[in-house]
Amino acid sequence: MKKYKEPVLTFNRTECDIILASINPGDSIYENETPLVPIE
């Protein structure tokens, strides 16, 4: 079955900062959800 995207936090060693999880085109967050496309 489809694996929906789970939010992932990553650590950027260079910047010594936490990069927040992001939602990008092609992602599906919820069940039965189609891939995200830009609105325009």
Q: Quote the CA–CA distance of 20 and 38 in Å, as a whole number.
A: 20
- Reduce the secondary structure of 13-29 to three states and give it as a string: CCCCEEECCCCCCCCCC
Judged by CB under 8 A, the number of residues near other proteins is 23
Nearest CB to other proteins, comparing residues 1 and 16: 1
Residues forming a β-bridge with 11: 18
Contact status: 19 vs other proteins (CB under 8 A):
no
Site membership for other proteins, residue 21 (CB under 8 A): yes
Which parts of this chain interact with other proteins (CB under 8 A)? 1-3, 6-7, 20-23, 25, 28-40
